Amino acid sequence: MRLVERLLPFAVAALAIGAGYALSAGLDGYFVYLGMSAIVGRISLLGLGVVTGSAGMISLCQLTFGAVGAWVVSALNAAEAPGGFLVWLVLGGLAAGLVGVLVGLPALRLRGINLAVVTLGLAAAADLTLVQLQFPGVASGISVERPDAFSDDRSYFLLAVVVLVGCCLGVYFLRRGRWGSGWQAVAFSERGTAAAGASVRTSKLTAFAVSATLGGISGGLLTGQVGLAFPASFTAIQSLALYVLAIMSGAHLIDMAILGAVLWVGVPELLKRWGVPQDWGFVVFGLLGIQALTSGGNLGTAVRRLWYRRSGAPAKLELADATTTVEPVVPGPPVLVVRGLGVRFGEVTALSSVDIEVPEHGVLGVIGPNGAGKSTLVDAISGFLADAEGSVELDGRPLTGSPSKRARAGLRRTFQQDRVPPGLRVEAYLRFVARRRLSAAEIAGALDFFGCPDARTPLSEVDVGARRLVEVVGHLLARPRVLLLDEPAAGLPHSEHVAFGERLRQVPARFGVSVLLIEHDLDLVRSVCDTITVLDFGRVLASGPQAEVLADPAVLKAYMGETELL
């Protein structure tokens, strides 16, 4: 099974090249030429699929990257540089990738509409500059030479197919690797990405770089197709249209970007045949885009549903049947020590002089009414609130810096809200979060222990309660020193709480991880936690061994009417 799966992409690639060969021989010359244009568009769309589809960033300058590729190929051709077309094509792609990193820099700070404005502005500026400068060699009419073996249209078409297949394979493998998981993760939640110890910056920049490299290759290929590059092929409005096509065709689905490519070439071609001015093409693309954005779906996903079977019900937990139990170990001295933690949000004091100690191999329960500051506590300890007062020590060393730095130092956390990227499979997500080599057996064992769905299940098909436990499993597999859990049972039916509590109690012994557990269900807290800290209005109300704390009159008073208490 594994082997078949591993070979499948190569088999599909070989088939695609075979089909390309048949088409290059069998198609009418006119369609061969249109086919080349579609492939050029397709490679560019593949790039947009990475930056927009996978990583969730708006990029409206994809054809500017195309222009960079075209520029490099034209310049090297005019200079009669060594290596020939194919080498120039690669260099054009790399140069565009470099420009992509520069364009990606603003994306580290900007999101949504602001990033759209910046990238579109860049496309417009590049557009004007190109018209002024023109491409190298154009003025003297030096057209770009195709490689000898691919000089006629039919064989150049086949070359384009091979380049396209290579690009698709590249994207396929990148998406399955660490970069790809990072793209999906930042698209869904930057906080979730940082909490996994991953760099949001790296994810964004690699997405821009890969996307721009593909844009550059596409531009270089176009130059070989037409011989001379012109600014009219790389205008800002065309970049905008390409973006719309990427959205509506679902270009992040590697096989479906082809729909966008067909429209990219087909719409202008039909307009030409019917004698309608070309500008109407942008109106058509605009309407298609509005349709896709307002319906929230895209053509690619809809087409895919026709032939990919989907399991109907979301995958759930199966916690009920007990697994072998490991006896809890006796908690040791504190591994995480928090002193004098204070957080203010404007006028609201969310935390004030909070001291917390998580014992080694223990589970500390943190309870308190809604709004007591429990989630703020986790945010502050894990580095998400940069101006929090107080000190945090892990293993006797000060823990400072960004959330991803703290995660890498051995402090992990989960979130009260769902931060698990639905675009990944369970296994890819676990590997991404764990940040270390995991054997299939280790993954299966941990999933099984928590009753989570199989490693191959897409997270989009996992119900929210189970998804939050997959998050817990991922962070446990990272083997941190301490894991902070923010209401991990909140998405589970109450009937599952006891079984979940049993698992949680074994976590320190099984995974060697000490736990801080925020929880509303006092039965669960009672069954799991040796020590408890109670927060109320941002202050520690009581702290100590379970029996003492839960019998404290002040705690009873604070909790009166809050939960189904004691």
Shortest reach from residue 560's CB to Mg ion, in Å: 20
Shortest reach from residue 384's CB to ligand ADP, in Å: 10
Residue corresponding to tokens 């004091």: 349
Residues that bind Mg ion (CB under 5 A): 374-375, 416
Shortest reach from residue 268's CB to ligand ADP, in Å: 49
Applying CB under 6 A, does 202 fall inside the site for ligand ADP?
A: no
| Nearer residue to ligand ADP within complex by CB, 368 or 383 | 368
Applying CB under 6 A, does 25 fall inside the site for ligand ADP?
A: no
| Nearer residue to ligand ADP within complex by CB, 176 or 520 | 520
Using the rule CB under 6 A, give the single segment among 5-13, 157-165, 185-193, 343-351 that binds ligand ADP: 343-351
Could you tell which of ligand ADP, Mg ion, none binds residue 137, using a CB distance below 5 to 8 A set by kind?
none
| Nearer residue to ligand ADP within complex by CB, 88 or 415 | 415
* 359/334 Cα distance (integer angstroms): 4
Q: Choose which of 108, 348, 464, 560 interacts with ligand ADP (CB under 6 A).
A: 348
Shortest reach from residue 342's CB to ligand ADP, in Å: 12
Applying CB under 6 A, does 373 fall inside the site for ligand ADP?
A: yes
Residue corresponding to tokens 């006797």: 396
Applying CB under 6 A, does 374 fall inside the site for ligand ADP?
A: yes
Could you tell which of ligand ADP, Mg ion, none binds residue 10, using a CB distance below 5 to 8 A set by kind?
none
Q: Choose which of 57, 315, 350, 411 interacts with ligand ADP (CB under 6 A).
A: 350
Applying CB under 6 A, does 30 fall inside the site for ligand ADP?
A: no
Shortest reach from residue 346's CB to ligand ADP, in Å: 7
CB-CB contact of 231 with 217 (8 Å): no
Applying CB under 6 A, does 488 fall inside the site for ligand ADP?
A: no
Start-to-end C-alpha separation, the chain: 52
| Nearer residue to ligand ADP within complex by CB, 350 or 522 | 350
Could you tell which of ligand ADP, Mg ion, none binds residue 371, using a CB distance below 5 to 8 A set by kind?
ligand ADP
| Nearer residue to ligand ADP within complex by CB, 152 or 355 | 355
Shortest reach from residue 471's CB to ligand ADP, in Å: 17
Shortest reach from residue 486's CB to ligand ADP, in Å: 7
| Nearer residue to Mg ion within complex by CB, 176 or 191 | 191
Q: For residue 355, give the amino acid letter.
A: D
CB burial readout 432-449, b (16+ within 10 A) else e: bbbbeebeeeebeebbeb
* 106/115 Cα distance (integer angstroms): 7
CB-CB contact of 49 with 168 (8 Å): no
DSSP one-letter code for 315: B
Compute CA 367 distance to the chain's CA centroid, rounded to the nearest angstrom.
33
Q: Choose which of 134, 323, 375, 546 interacts with ligand ADP (CB under 6 A).
A: 375
Q: Choose which of 38, 367, 372, 470 interacts with ligand ADP (CB under 6 A).
A: 372
Could you tell which of Mg ion, ligand ADP, none binds residue 350, using a CB distance below 5 to 8 A set by kind?
ligand ADP
CB burial readout 412-423, b (16+ within 10 A) else e: bbbbeebbbbeb
Using the rule CB under 6 A, give the single segment among 49-57, 331-339, 369-377, 452-460 that binds ligand ADP: 369-377
Applying CB under 6 A, does 376 fall inside the site for ligand ADP?
A: yes
Pick from 21, 209, 218, 194: which is nearest to 99 by CA? 209
Using the rule CB under 6 A, give the single segment among 1-9, 103-111, 295-303, 372-380 that binds ligand ADP: 372-380
Shortest reach from residue 487's CB to Mg ion, in Å: 6
Q: Could you tell me which residues are beta bridge partners of residue 356?
A: 338
Shortest reach from residue 348's CB to ligand ADP, in Å: 5
C-beta neighbour count of 228 within 10 angstroms: 16
Sheet of 397-398, strands arranged across: 348-359, 334-345, 389-394, 397-398
Number of H helices, E strands in the chain: 22, 10
DSSP string, 445-477: HHHHHTTPPPTTSBGGGB-HHHHHHHHHHHHHH
| Nearer residue to ligand ADP within complex by CB, 376 or 514 | 376
Q: Could you tell me which residues are beta bridge partners of residue 348?
A: 345
Could you tell which of Mg ion, ligand ADP, none binds residue 370, using a CB distance below 5 to 8 A set by kind?
ligand ADP
Pairing of strands 514-518, 334-345: unpaired
Applying CB under 6 A, does 370 fall inside the site for ligand ADP?
A: yes
Q: For residues 441, 444, 448 and 453, what is the CA-based torsion angle, rounded to 10 degrees?
A: -170
Side-chain half-sphere of 9: how many Cα atoms within 13 Å? 16
Residue 99, C-beta contacts closer than 8 angstroms, at least 6 positions apart:
64, 65, 68, 212, 216
Could you tell which of Mg ion, ligand ADP, none binds residue 348, using a CB distance below 5 to 8 A set by kind?
ligand ADP
* 95/114 Cα distance (integer angstroms): 25
> Which residues form the interface with ligand ADP (CB under 6 A)?
345, 348, 350, 368, 370-376
